[in-house]
């Protein structure tokens, strides 16, 4: 078979003729009204449609918000694209965003406002807007997101589109609309109030009046020159989605928003005032029925901002030489901190401030959410090089720490605050305490380091001469980049960021020490034996019995030294040892009642204590510190190789990164031994 036939088959498999016909449906005005009577959702406003689109993907209780009303909206996980543009860690501002759309959907006032997303650079403002735009494109292709517009038959029998993709409902005379809406409400369940207060654009009004005059006011004959069609939104085709980015102030022209005269058609139609000689192709025009995005909206010239006010408050625009023209679209702008401060200090912009709903989009302040951002770009699927365990985590630690405010409670460090935000437990702190920590912060997440900076530094490390990347490689890149970081406002801030790198290195040291300890003490049989010994002694202690020595066979008192050597590993004080031992025995007893056998791994605290005890007993025999030396005996090397294999198989290291981390941890222990000797 020829290659071109194979390609045709592949293309044909992914093209559905039935689907194409559905999206390109055309029919009469009566067909459209029959659809509206059965499904009033086709009459939704742009705000109602966006709200339903978000809700259609579902929600679940948020893990970030303590409130019972706090939801995580799955739409912002970007499920249609396998999470390529997912938003992480912003449940609170996204809840505010969804509330804005819900209020606007019920005509409670926010439908007359400009939605302003405000936050530092790289905080996902553009991503959120992009998700809404892409989502609308997909939603308009689904049966539940269907919407319609119409075409006019011109004098030559050709069909010409309504340039602003208006709803065919606007062809109904205003005096009859209330009765038609009432009839639709009688026949169908209506979830939202049906709002059809707009009017036809100048182009459609011309055709409407032309045919009404031709037929002496006979509306039914006029409507025969209308063909209704399905409307599919597309930013590429400039249908239902507009984007405007300010340029040089001297070159800004309002026609970019509201359209301009088509001078070539003036000769055909004879007048600049003929709407057929006007291009209704400004961003406001093409975005009708959908969404318009204003990039860096506060850089707009003042004259543009006045257009914006009319578009939001009056829901109309003023094309050159024509009357006010109704629009129905969501207006979303986004801006950064310096531009917003200018807005606040400009008294002339009070009207604009009054007509905006500002939602802060901060940086992540939750460690795991920040890690998710980097994991998306640097997973094993995305890159070929090996990224050592905890590399992304330490990068995320540092970026989150730069965004946090120092806690007012002197008993807690910034690193501990970060862990509490990440859901870790800490003695003496409840969920309410964590909420108080968040509430006392004034600008947390609105300042600090952008994820883009971290991504750049990880990328720098990935293109180095090594075939893998470890935490220190990236931390060195971060440190080096601070010298020339253009967004760092002062030397004091730069110094603070460097100090936070030291904090992160300390945290990483604790993590890898713990990991190597677990790898060394991961001898299942040895832990089980140590656990049995501990439990036998605890049982004898709590029941005031003797315990049999496995070596001598003699009955002896419980081995208090053994018990304390294990309990001290998890900070059980002398005064609490009896309580802890009773808890263990009660736990074992409860399992026995359910015919279940006790296993050390079911009690995380005890497991950690046993592992640390076993590590302490083994670290001298394994001579990990000998790695620092060039000479390693065969027996020690064999033991080290076992540990290295565990790090590779159980913890995700490769040969090189496992060697690195063992060298690093051995130097830590050598340093500790040196201090102890001193």
List CB contacts of 120: < 8 A, sequence separation 6 or more. Answer: 336, 337, 362, 363, 446, 447, 448, 450
Assigned domain for 184 exists: no
Q: How many domains does the chain have?
A: 3
Domain boundary among 509, 536, 566: 509
Cross-strand partners of 294:
244, 333
* Residues 464, 499 share a domain: yes
* Residues 480, 395 share a domain: yes
Task: Give the count of beta carbons closer than 10 Å to the beta carbon of residue 411.
Answer: 8
* Residues 461, 385 share a domain: yes
How do residues 541-565 score in pLDDT, each as one tens digit?
Answer: 888 888 887 777 778 888 888 888 8
* Residues 505, 385 share a domain: yes
> What is the mean pLDDT of the segment spanning 159-184?
95
Contact at 8 Å (CB) between 240 and 287? yes
Assigned domain for 426 exists: yes
Instruction: Give how far the C-alpha of residue 25 lies from the chain's centroid of Cα atoms, to the nearest Å.
Output: 36
> What is the mean pLDDT of the segment spanning 283-290?
96
Assigned domain for 161 exists: no
Tell me which DSSP letter residue 318 carries: -
Highest mean pLDDT among 185-194, 282-291, 336-345: 282-291
Burial status of residue 32 (CB atoms within 10 A of its CB: 0-12, 13-18, 19 or more): buried
Quote the pLDDT of residue 284.
95
More confident residue, 137 or 383: 137
* Residues 564, 485 share a domain: no
Assigned domain for 297 exists: no
* Residues 420, 473 share a domain: yes
Assigned domain for 38 exists: no
**Best CA proximity match to 163, nearest among 276, 31, 316:** 276
Band (pLDDT 50/70/90 cuts) for residue 254 is confident
Quote the pLDDT of residue 272.
87
Residue 469, SS3 per DSSP? strand
* Residues 588, 645 share a domain: no
Contact at 8 Å (CB) between 215 and 15? no
* Residues 537, 483 share a domain: no
* Residues 633, 565 share a domain: no
How do residues 420-432 score in pLDDT, each as one tens digit?
Answer: 999 887 777 888 8
* Residues 534, 486 share a domain: no
- State both tokens at 394: 């330490």
Quote the pLDDT of residue 529.
84
Assigned domain for 618 exists: no
Assigned domain for 646 exists: yes
Quote the pLDDT of residue 27.
96
Contact at 8 Å (CB) between 446 and 122? no
Q: Tokens 């809406």 map to which residue? A: 181
Beta strands 260-261; 386-387: pairing state: unpaired
* Residues 417, 496 share a domain: yes
Assigned domain for 564 exists: yes
Domain boundary among 556, 589, 611: 611
For residues 501 and 660, what is the distance between their CA atoms, to the nearest angstrom?
20
Is the per-residue pLDDT at 16 higher than 70? Answer: no
Phi-psi region of 390 (alpha: psi -120 to 50; beta: other; left: phi over 0): left
Print the domain residue range for 638. Answer: 623-678
pTM greater than the 0.95 cutoff: no
* Residues 560, 668 share a domain: no
How do residues 40-57 score in pLDDT, each as one tens digit?
Answer: 999 999 999 999 999 999
- State both tokens at 271: 């007048």
φ, ψ of residue 548 in degrees (nearest 5) = -85, 125
Task: Give the count of beta carbons closer than 10 Å to the beta carbon of residue 458.
Answer: 22
């Amino acid at each position: 078979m020829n290659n071109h036939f194979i390609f045709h088959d592949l293309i044909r498999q992914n093209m559905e003729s039935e689907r194409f016909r559905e999206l390109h449906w055309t029919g009469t005005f009566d067909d459209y009204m029959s659809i509206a009577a059965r499904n009033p959702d086709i009459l939704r406003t742009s705000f109602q449609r966006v709200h339903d689109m978000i809700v259609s993907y579902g929600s679940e209780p948020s893990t970030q918000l303590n409130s019972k009303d706090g939801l995580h909206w799955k739409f912002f996980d970007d499920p249609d694209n396998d999470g390529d543009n997912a938003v992480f860690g912003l449940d609170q501002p996204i809840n505010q965003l969804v509330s804005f759309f819900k209020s606007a959907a019920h005509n409670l006032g926010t439908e007359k406002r400009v939605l302003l997303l405000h936050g530092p650079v790289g905080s996902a403002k553009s991503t959120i807007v992009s998700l809404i735009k892409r989502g609308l494109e997909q939603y308009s292709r689904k049966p539940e997101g269907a919407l319609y517009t119409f075409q006019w038959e011109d004098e030559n029998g050709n069909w010409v589109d309504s340039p602003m993709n208006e709803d065919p409902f606007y062809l109904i005379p205003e005096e009859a609309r209330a009765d038609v809406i009432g009839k639709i409400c009688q026949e169908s369940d209506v979830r939202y109030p049906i709002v059809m207060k707009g009017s036809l654009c100048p182009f459609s009004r011309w055709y409407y009046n032309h045919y009404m005059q031709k037929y002496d006011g006979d509306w039914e004959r006029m409507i025969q020159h209308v063909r209704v069609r399905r409307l599919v939104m597309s930013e590429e085709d400039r249908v239902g989605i507009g984007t405007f980015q300010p340029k040089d102030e001297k070159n800004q022209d309002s026609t970019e928003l509201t359209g301009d005269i088509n001078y070539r058609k003036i000769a055909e139609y004879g007048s600049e005032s003929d709407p057929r000689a006007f291009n209704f192709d400004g961003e406001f025009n093409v975005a009708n029925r959908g969404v318009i995005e204003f990039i860096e909206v506060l850089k707009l010239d003042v004259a543009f901002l006045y257009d914006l006010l009319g578009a939001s408050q009056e829901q109309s625009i003023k094309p050159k030489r024509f009357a006010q023209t109704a629009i129905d679209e969501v207006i979303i702008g986004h801006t950064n901190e310096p531009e917003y401060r200018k807005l606040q200090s400009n008294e002339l912009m009070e009207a604009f401030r009054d007509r905006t709903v500002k939602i802060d989009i901060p940086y992540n302040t939750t460690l795991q959410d920040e890690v998710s951002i980097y994991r998306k770009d640097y997973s094993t699927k995305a890159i070929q090089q090996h990224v050592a365990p905890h590399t992304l985590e330490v990068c995320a630690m540092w970026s989150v720490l730069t965004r946090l405010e120092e806690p007012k409670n002197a008993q807690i460090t910034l690193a501990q605050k970060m862990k509490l935000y990440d859901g870790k437990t800490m003695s003496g702190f409840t969920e309410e305490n964590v909420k108080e920590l968040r509430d006392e912060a004034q600008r947390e997440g609105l300042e600090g380091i952008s994820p883009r900076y971290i991504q750049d530094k990880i990328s720098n490390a990935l293109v180095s001469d090594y075939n893998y990347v470890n935490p220190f490689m990236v931390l060195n890149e971060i440190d080096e980049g601070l010298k020339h970081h253009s967004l760092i406002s002062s030397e004091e801030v730069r110094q603070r960021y460097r100090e936070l790198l030291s904090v992160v290195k300390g945290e990483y040291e604790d993590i890898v020490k713990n990991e190597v300890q677990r790898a060394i003490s991961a001898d299942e049989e040895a832990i089980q034996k140590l656990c049995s010994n501990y439990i036998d002694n605890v049982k004898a202690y709590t029941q005031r019995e003797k315990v049999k020595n496995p070596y001598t066979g003699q009955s002896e008192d419980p081995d208090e030294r053994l018990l304390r050597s294990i309990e001290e590993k998890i900070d059980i004080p002398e005064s609490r040892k009896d309580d802890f031992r009773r808890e263990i025995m009660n736990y074992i007893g409860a399992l026995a009642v359910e015919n279940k056998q006790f296993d050390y791994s079911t009690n995380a605290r005890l497991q950690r204590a046993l592992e640390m005890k076993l590590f302490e007993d083994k670290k001298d025999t394994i001579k990990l510190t000998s790695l620092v030396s060039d000479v390693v005996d065969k027996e020690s090397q064999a033991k080290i190789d076992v540990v290295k294999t565990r790090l590779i198989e159980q913890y995700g290291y490769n040969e090189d990164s496992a060697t690195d981390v063992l060298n690093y941890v051995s130097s830590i222990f050598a340093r500790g031994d040196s201090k102890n000797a001193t």
